[in-house]
Chains A and B, each alone.
Chain A
Amino acid sequence: MKTLQGTPDHIRGQRIGILTRTPKTWPARRHYILLATSRTAPGYAGAILAHAVRRAPFAPAAVSGLPPAALADLHDGDILALTPDGTVAVLWDGAQQSNGILMTERCNCRCLMCPQPPKEDAPGLDETNDRLLQLLPEIRPDTICITGGEPTLKRTRFLKTLDAITRELPQAAVDILTNGQTFADFEFARAAAECAPARTTFCISLHADTAALHNRITGSTDGFARTLRGIRNLGKLGIPVEIRFVLMRLNHDRVAEFARFVGQNFPFVVHVALMGLEMTGKALENEAQVWVEPAEYAGSLRIAIQELRRRNVPASIYNVPLCLLDRRVWPAARQSISAWKNGYLPACESCQGKTFCCGVFTTSERFSQRIRPVDPADIQPLQDYRNKYINDKIKLCGGPSE
């Protein structure tokens, strides 16, 4: 999440609102944070001041002292949180597709490669999310992620959130990032299916085709059985399911067999994402079991994509740069890294493939040693592929709602 640091002015508690540079009329103001150059007016949720001004009576809570470059990076329609210490947090970045509602930081798994290790929820998280749900109908986003930790741990709140989205934003494409274990309870799966808006995909993490390996990776005793039952229950309810597999040292040599397992047992899934590592958090702590040089699995990854393609299961590769992939699977590689943590290495300087490549996580602390510019001669087929499918979002972006 993008954050900026400024000077607070009379901020009591968290002030959350939609950024606007255009003044709003009453009573809409209460949902907005005005970015003002001179004066502010009463009624706004908050204000961002280009420079400190004399405080008017009833002026909203404000943050000032942000450099112009930072201000330029905030867009109308972003949802910001102003905190008493002068931090401006971007809860919702209007320029991005992958904004999410963080339901909880707690999790029922302890994955070896977790980039955001579980912890207790910050106080006020539920209230923040309530406020977010209040504001989203104003900006009408196309896509919403529901994420965590494990978002379904707060069952009632989870269902209520889905319900609110269905009522206020029925057209939104919703991706729920979950390990699927709670859906082993068929009644809960049914309730979620009933509450969720029409364009919802349940994105379920599965990291092996065998119980022992998956449970070792996820730090759970029966996670594999519960996740598979969750997938099956959602399948029975006719709910779109996506499977997400993170490639790491422990499982990368099984990725082709994994693809076969998914295609054979869950042929109804709408998408499979095979994902590279974000080397931060637990992934870094467990480096010895987790880190693998992506170039090492280029061969088996190619076979995995082929197995899925043979079975007519849409598949994508996330977070692995083009130079580390077999060229034949480049059409499956996606621009998968959120803009705020997306970057390139010095080695990428002269590479002409950057526009097509996901690059690396700026949050990662370890990178492949084999990243290097791709052969320019190989770029044209990629451009041709993009042009050919320019209107076919599934083929370009992978998955129904990315």
Chain B
Amino acid sequence: MRRLLPFSFLRLDEETVLLVNECGDFTFLSPDQFKRLTGPALQDDDELPPSLESRHFLAEGDLALPLELMATKYRTRKGFLRNFTALHMMVVTVRCNQRCKYCQVSSEDEQAHTFDMSPDVAQKIVECIFQSPGEDIKIEFQGGEPVLNWKAVTTAIEYAEALNRQHHKRVEFVICTNLTIIKPEQLEYLRDHQVAISTSLDGPREIHDANRRLRTGGGTYDLFLEHLDLARKICGDRVSALMTTTQANLHALRDVVDEYLRQGFPGIFFRSLNPFGFAATDKAALGYPPEAFTRAFIDGLDYILSLNFKGTPFVEYFTALLLQRILTPFPTGFVDLQSPAGTGICGVIYDYNGDVYPSDESRMLARMGDASFRMGNVFTNTYQEIFLGETLRHLVSNSCVETLPGCADCAYSIYCGADPVRNYLEVRDIVGHRPTSGLCRIHKGLFNHLFRTIRRADENVLDLFWAWATGRDLAEVQA
């Protein structure tokens, strides 16, 4: 007997229905084929594409084998869970020499020093980190500007190295720095301890300086480039850059890409702005509707594709991530878009006093008086109380797309994820409201675009998509 296997669907355009099954295989059908697949004459239809069976949309008699194959792929996608919390972020200070217009963290009032993480707290946090069961640990220093509390950074790094002589985990360090106040000795230290540097570049001078300003006034572009050069001389190619999309660069993403190429970066991540928590005026000045972001993203992506086909390799990292999810069954480690959500179980953040939060947004929420998501404190709670406590359980168990309204029947859900803290910020409910969720609209827009592109099946574009999805050069895929 022929049976349907579970799938979601979406009318991509007038001639195409996209089907996606529970483990992420997809296929395209014509409206007529779709009607026959879901119609009463299914058993006798001899003209359905045989790939419906091999792509696990239909089971012909034997149900056990396709379910085994699907289960393997589903388990594989969720492989990111096996390592439990891998990313551990430490907010070592809220002080910063810059005052970027979209920053919600930095502060320099008289109380600011009290939010510096002491070396004792840093050590205690590292002890907690090493109780993570996973083999892979990434410790990321954030701020404000973390180099301003250099003692906390070096204490954490050296203590982690000492502890790891017993644990033998694979430990990586990252520092998120604006690079404009870093000293050569500090860069040498980072080199000697193999700390990766993640910095910010929003675009060419006019764009970068529009939002990224010194606290004392003035832009930071030239200062940044000077220090970038120094950082590369000392630390080699361990420097990567992120950009933040605001009104200043939303309609100039091509220029931002050109700037990244000029500065020798191999790729870019078009990051959208989270305007929540801004005053209304700031939001108006910086923010933009979700659809505007999606349109700009697609335009920027088109530009990047054309660069690749002209012989300039350059990657858009978020697209590469989505393509890895769409085209392959392999797990991806992007904390912000997982199901169950990565908050806490993939990435966690430690505040200056040892408080532990599942995400930065929840930490800032606590600063504003709402500590709903505080998981515990490294001094007063055990690892089990923090990571296996009710707060995190409640958050995670309400973040599986298969059970969320709006996500449960979305064709893209297997490739997507949930952000319960963002949902809470927007509608005071961790389950969230999909129709008004800006992120949902952005992601749907991007998925629609990617699937329409895949449907058009231009061979060169698909080769490039596969190159990105598998972390290889286009030349290697086409050789």
> Which of A225, A264, A311 lies in contact with B65, CB distance below 8 A?
A225
Whole-angstrom CA separation of A211 from B466 in the bound complex: 28
- 30 contacts across the A-B interface (CB closer than 8 A): A209-B50, A209-B51, A209-B53, A209-B54, A210-B53, A210-B60, A212-B60, A213-B50, A224-B65, A225-B62, A225-B64, A228-B65, A229-B65, A232-B68, A232-B72, A254-B50, A258-B54, A264-B25, A265-B69, A265-B72, A267-B329, A306-B463, A309-B477, A309-B479, A310-B463, A310-B477, A311-B466, A311-B470, A312-B472, A331-B479
User: Which A residues are CB-close (under 8 A) to B330?
Assistant: 267
Judge if B443 is at the interface, Cβ distance under 8 Å.
no
Is A257 among interface residues, defined by CB-CB distance under 8 A? yes
Interface string of B47-61 (1 = CB under 8 A from A): 000110111000011
> Does any Cβ of B come within 8 Å of A344's Cβ?
no
| Cross-interface CB contact of B470 among A212, A229, A264, A310, cutoff 8 Å | A310
Q: Which of A211, A265, A309, A310 contacts B53 (CB 8 A)?
A: A211
Contact between chains at B462 and A310 (CB < 8 Å): yes
User: B231-271: contact bitstring with A at CB < 8 Å (1 yes, 0 no)?
Assistant: 00000000000000000000000000000000000000000
Q: How far is the CA of A254 from the CA of B54 in the complex (A)?
A: 11
- In the complex, given contacts A211-B65, A212-B60, what are 10 additional A-B residue pairs having Cβ atoms less than 8 angstroms apart? A209-B51, A210-B54, A211-B53, A228-B65, A257-B54, A261-B55, A265-B73, A267-B328, A306-B459, A312-B470
- Distance (whole angstroms) from the CB of A181 to the closest CB of chain B: 13
Chain B's closest residue to A222 (CB) is B62
Complex Cα gap A154–B4 (Å): 40
Consensus secondary structure, chain B interface: helix
- Max chain B CB contacts within 10 Å: which of A209, A225, A265? A265
Contacts of A331 in B (CB 8 A): 479
Q: Which residue of B lies closest to A256 (CB)?
A: B51
Please indicate the chain A residues that have their CB under 8 angstroms from the CB of B328 in the complex.
267, 311
Pick the 3 closest A-B CB pairs, nearest first.
Answer: A209-B54, A310-B466, A261-B54
Contact, CB under 8 Å: B466 / A264:
no
> A: which residues have CB within 8 A of B?
209-213, 224-225, 228-229, 232, 254, 257-258, 261, 264-265, 267, 306, 309-312, 331
Shortest CB-to-CB span from B66 to chain A, Å, is 10
B330's closest neighbor in chain A, by CB?
A267
B-side residues, CB < 8 A to A, are 25, 50-51, 53-55, 60-62, 64-65, 68-69, 72-73, 328-330, 459, 462-463, 466, 470, 472, 477-479
Give the CA-CA distance A211 to B64 in the complex, in Å: 13
Question: How distant is the Cα of A27 from the Cα of B25 in the complex, in angstroms?
Answer: 64
Q: With both chains docked as a complex, state the minimum distance between the C-beta of B310 and any C-beta of chain A, in angstroms.
A: 21
CA distance A265 to B51 in the complex (A): 14
Return the contact of A257 from the options B51, B329, B478 (Cβ within 8 A).
B51
Which of A232, A264, A267 has the most chain B CB within a 10 Å cutoff?
A: A264
> Smallest CB-CB separation from B469: which chain A residue?
A310
Give the distance to chain B from A342, nearest Cβ to Cβ, in Å: 27
CB-based nearest B residue for A236: B72
Residues B329 and A264 in contact, CB atoms below 8 Å apart: yes
Q: How far is the CA of A209 from the CA of B55 in the complex (A)?
A: 9
What B residues does A212 contact at CB under 8 A? 60
**Bound: A331/B479 CA distance, A:** 9
Q: Which residues of B contact A224 (CB under 8 A)?
A: 65
Q: How far is the CA of A342 from the CA of B50 in the complex (A)?
A: 36
| Residue among B60, B65, B472, B478 with most chain A CB within 10 A | B65
Q: Which residue of B lies closest to A224 (CB)?
A: B65
| Chain A residues within an 8 Å CB radius of B477 | 309-310
B457 CB to closest chain A CB, in angstroms? 11
- Bound together, the chains give a CA A257 to CA B60 distance in angstroms of 17
Contacts of A210 in B (CB 8 A): 50, 53-54, 60
Contacts of A211 in B (CB 8 A): 53, 60-62, 65
Residue of A nearest to B24 (CB): A264
Contacts of A232 in B (CB 8 A): 68, 72
Contacts of B463 in A (CB 8 A): 306, 310
Interfacial chain A residues near B61, Cβ < 8 Å: 211
- On chain A, the residues within 8 Å of B64 by CB distance are 225
Smallest beta-carbon distance B341→chain A, Å:
26
Q: How far is the CA of A306 from the CA of B466 in the complex (A)?
A: 11
Query: Nearest CB to that of B54 among chain A residues?
Result: A209
Chain A residues with Cβ under 8 A from B60's Cβ?
210-212
Q: Pick the contact of A228 from B53, B69, B470 — CB < 8 Å?
A: B69
A32 to B424, CA, bound (A): 83
- Which of B53, B54, B55, B62: most chain A CB closer than 10 A? B54
The smallest beta-carbon distance between A254 and chain B, in angstroms, is: 7
**Once the chains are docked, how many angstroms separate the CA of A228 from the CA of B72?**
13
Residues of A close to B462: CB separation below 8 A: 310
Output the least CB separation between A122 and chain B (Å).
37
Residue of A254, A310, A331 with most chain B CB atoms under a 10 A cut-off: A310
A212 and B60 alpha carbons, distance in the complex (Å): 9
Distance between B89 CB and nearest chain A CB, rounded to angstroms: 32
List residues of chain A with CB within 8 A of the CB of B68. 229, 232
Q: Using Cβ atoms and an 8 Å threshold, which residues of chain B touch A257?
A: 50-51, 54
Q: How far is the CA of A312 from the CA of B330 in the complex (A)?
A: 13
In the bound complex, what is the Cα–Cα distance between A331 and B53 (angstroms)? 32
| Distance between Cα atoms of A302 and B424 in the complex (Å) | 51
Q: Find chain B residues with CB under 8 A from A258 CB.
A: 54
Report the Cα distance A224→B472, complex, angstroms.
33
Residues of chain B with a CB closer than 8 A to A254's CB: 50
Alpha-carbon distance between A213 and B60 when the two chains are bound, in angstroms? 12
A254 and B51 CA atoms in complex are apart in Å by 9
User: How far, in whole Å, are A250 and B72 apart by their CA atoms in the complex?
Assistant: 29
Shortest CB distance A249–B (Å): 16
A311 to chain B, nearest CB (A): 7
Measured between beta carbons, the chain B residues less than 8 angstroms from A213 are 50
Instruction: Please measure, in the bound complex, the distance between the C-alpha atom of A228 and the C-alpha atom of B68, giving whole angstroms.
Output: 10
Tell me the bound Cα distance from A235 to B143 in angstroms.
45
CB of B166 to closest CB in A, whole Å = 29
Q: A213 to B330, alpha carbons, bound, how many Å?
A: 28
Measured in the bound complex, the distance between the Cα atoms of B26 and A27 in whole Å is 67
Q: How long is the Cα–Cα vector from A209 to B50 in the complex, in angstroms?
A: 9
Chain B residues within 8 Å of A229, by CB: 65, 68
Nearest chain A CB to B336 CB, angstrom units: 26
List the A side residues contacting B478 at CB < 8 Å.
Answer: 309
Residues of B within 8 A of A309 (CB): 477-479
Complex formed: what's the CA distance from A232 to B25 in Å?
19
Distance A224 CA – B54 CA, assembled complex (angstroms) = 12
Chain B nearest CB, measured from A160 CB (Å): 31
Q: In the complex the two chains form, what is the Cα distance from A213 to B55 in whole Å?
A: 15
Shortest A223–chain B CB gap in Å is 12
Chain B min CB distance to A318 (Å): 20
Chain B residues lying within 8 Å of A311, measured Cβ to Cβ, are 328, 466, 470
Min Cβ gap A325→B in Å is: 16
A331 to B478, CA, bound (A): 12
**Bound complex: CA A258 to CA B462 (Å):** 18
CB distance from B29 to the nearest CB of A (A): 15
In the complex, what residues of A have CB within 8 A of residue B466's CB?
310-311
Residue of B nearest to A261 (CB): B54
Measured in the bound complex, the distance between the Cα atoms of B60 and A225 in whole Å is 12
List residues of chain A with CB within 8 A of the CB of B53: 209-211
Q: What is the CB-to-nearest-CB distance from B24 to chain A, in angstroms, rounded to a whole number?
A: 9
Closest CB-CB distance, A388 to chain B, in whole Å? 10
By a CB distance below 8 angstroms, the chain A residues around B51 are 209, 257
Rounded to whole angstroms, the CA-CA distance of A229 and B470 in the bound complex is 27
Q: Which residue of B lies closest to A328 (CB)?
A: B478
* Complex CA–CA separation, A385 to B51 (angstroms): 35
Return chain A residues, CB-CB under 8 Å to B69: 228, 265
Task: For the complex, give the distance between the alpha carbons of A309 and B476 in Å.
Answer: 9
- The CA of A228 and the CA of B56, in the complex, are separated in Å by 14
A213 to B54, CA, bound (A): 11
**Alpha-carbon distance between A311 and B61 when the two chains are bound, in angstroms:** 29
